[in-house]
Amino acid sequence: MTTNNPTTSFTSHMTTHGYTDPSKASEALGNLESKMEEMEKSNKSNAMIVTEDGVGFLHVQVKNTEIKDIYICYSSDHATVVESQSDLITNCPLLTKISKEAFDKSRLENNGTAFVGVLRFKNLRYKNETEIHTVLNNEVYGITMRAKISNLTNNIHMFFKHKDLTGKASCVSWDGKGRLNWTAFGCKTEIINNTIKCSCSHLTFFAVLMSDANVTAPHLESLTLISSIGCGISMFFMAIALFMHFLLRKAKSNQATKILMNMFVALCLLNASFLSNESVANTQDNTACVFIALLLHYSMLASFTWFFIQALHMYLWLIRQNVTITNYMRKITVLGWACPAPIVVVIVSVGGYEAVIMNATSGKITRMCWITNPYIHYIVNIGYYALVFVFTTGVFIMIVTKVVQARNIRSTDDKRKTFRKQLMMVLSLFLLFGLTWSVAFFSYGPMLIPSYYIFTVLNSLQGFFLFLYYYHIHNGVAGNFSDDPESTDSTV
């Protein structure tokens, strides 16, 4: 049933050149407050907002009237307040339910009068941004009640009708500030036949993001499972190695072992933050999500840094030789743990860590806390590792070349005896220098899916492989290239 309240209309122009600038959209939503005041003074209950892309809608519940849940049936050319959901959802491209709890908060902050305003924006994007196809129908809805509405127990519900849904739908919001960064926090997604239901505990800008069913989607769940199992196994064995080091062998540890233990700590942090990431993201606590994303990113960059330090140590010990550095272990320890810190501090200060939504073909939606800006990801993560990779690969080649040259001058019997140790040394260096991460560079074309599986298996089990290396060097299997027993450092 439609309410028979008097209506008026306002005209607004928010789009230029076929797109709506996010800052203009945020400004337009804020300007609804003055229109709400005009409606209150003129004793109007409903009002239309006419825009170039359709209509907006204002509704006022004046003082001393009963507050209850209302439904707003919204289409491209009209919007109407209805008394109940009933079957109207089949006729409304967007049906919004505003809860009584939200109206109570609006009335409390507006001297007894409750307001709600809805504006639709088409092609909400920046001038040079072209990837607008991920938003369902390229439509974004801004909702305001002239009050701070958040942490609702009786959520705001939005029902988006669609015909042919391609990809996976996720309800998201944007706070109207800064860059157009979508987040799933505070919103839940439910698919009901041909309708997407978004339940959100706050008010701001809302949209439905569509994730394409791309070539990696069918493998998301299996890759996640492999990663979880591998990281769990690695954490277990690295914990054993750390226990053995700190309680049993710390007093007689040399520099190479101490560097390896620092690498174990970094990888343990990396595995732990990865395994707990999805659980934290599902709590929809923004502060917790930012923290776990920061920890995951910091531990990953710290692991890269310790790969670099491991290669640097091998270079000084095997290639340069007889290099004396005062307080050597203290300096490289500070380098290993302090170097990534400024990077994550800058990223968290610009709001770079948020929830990322991933969709599997089974329909399961996975949330993780990570970097939302692809440019930050490629410049920082890929760039950082690329620099480490260039150095570690150079050292790896120099050491292998030196080993091959030494082998060529030995007798045939000596070559056979030392081949196994030399092979172990080469494989050990490959792991110690983190060269397994370079598989990501081959994730293109026909190698895309195979490289994902190779990358996932090798790097999730890296801690386990390094434990085997640690066990072997303390049992004399890996040979003299794996450790430097003479280079103890009493200052650490």
* Amino acid of residue 433: F
Query: Widest CA span of the chain, in angstroms?
Result: 103
Who contacts 143 (Cβ-Cβ below 8 Å, separation ≥6)?
Answer: 96, 116, 117, 118, 156, 203, 204, 206
**447: CB partners within 8 A, 6+ apart:** none
For residue 467, count other CB atoms closer than 10 A to its CB.
Answer: 22
- DSSP code string of 203-245: -SEEEEEEE---TTGGGHHHHHHHHHHHHHHHHHHHHHHHHII
Q: Where is 447: in which H helix or E strand?
A: none
Q: How far is CA 428 from CA 35, 401, 434, 435, in A?
A: 70, 15, 10, 10
pTM above 0.75, yes or no: no
Sequence-distant (≥ 6) Cβ neighbours of residue 188 within 8 angstroms: 155, 171, 198, 199, 200
C-beta separation of 94 from 75 below 8 A: yes
Distance CA 457, CA 450 (A): 11
pLDDT at 385: 93
Give me the pLDDT at residue 4, please: 41
Question: Is the CB of residue 89 less than 8 Å from the CB of residue 161?
Answer: yes
Question: Any idea what DSSP says for residue 309?
Answer: H
Q: For 308, which DSSP code?
A: H
Contact between 46 and 6 under an 8 Å Cβ cutoff? The reply is yes
CA distance 171 to 184: 6
Summarize the chain as % helix, strand, coil (round to 5).
50, 20, 30
The domains found in the chain, sorted by start residue, are 7-211 (2.60.220.50), 217-482 (1.20.1070.10)
* Closest CA relative to residue 265, chosen from 314, 227, 303, 313: 303
Distance CA 227, CA 452 (A): 11
Q: What is the DSSP letter of 439?
A: G
Q: How far apart are CA 340 and CA 338, in angstroms?
A: 6
Could you read off the pLDDT tens digit of each residue along the chain, which spans 492 residues? 344 444 455 555 555 556 778 888 888 887 777 777 777 777 777 887 776 655 678 888 777 777 778 888 877 667 777 765 555 555 677 888 888 888 888 888 888 888 888 888 887 876 655 444 478 877 888 888 888 888 888 888 888 877 666 667 788 888 888 777 777 778 888 877 778 888 898 888 888 877 544 445 567 778 888 889 999 999 999 999 888 888 776 656 788 888 999 999 999 999 999 999 989 988 878 889 999 999 999 999 999 999 999 999 988 887 777 667 888 999 999 999 999 999 999 999 988 888 776 655 555 667 788 887 778 888 899 999 999 999 999 999 988 888 777 666 655 555 555 666 667 777 778 888 888 888 877 766 666 778 888 888 888 888 888 888 888 776 654 444 444 434 434 333
Give me the phi and psi of 70, to 5 degrees please: -130, 160
Integer CA distances (angstroms), 302 to 21, 253, 265, 384, in order: 39, 22, 10, 11
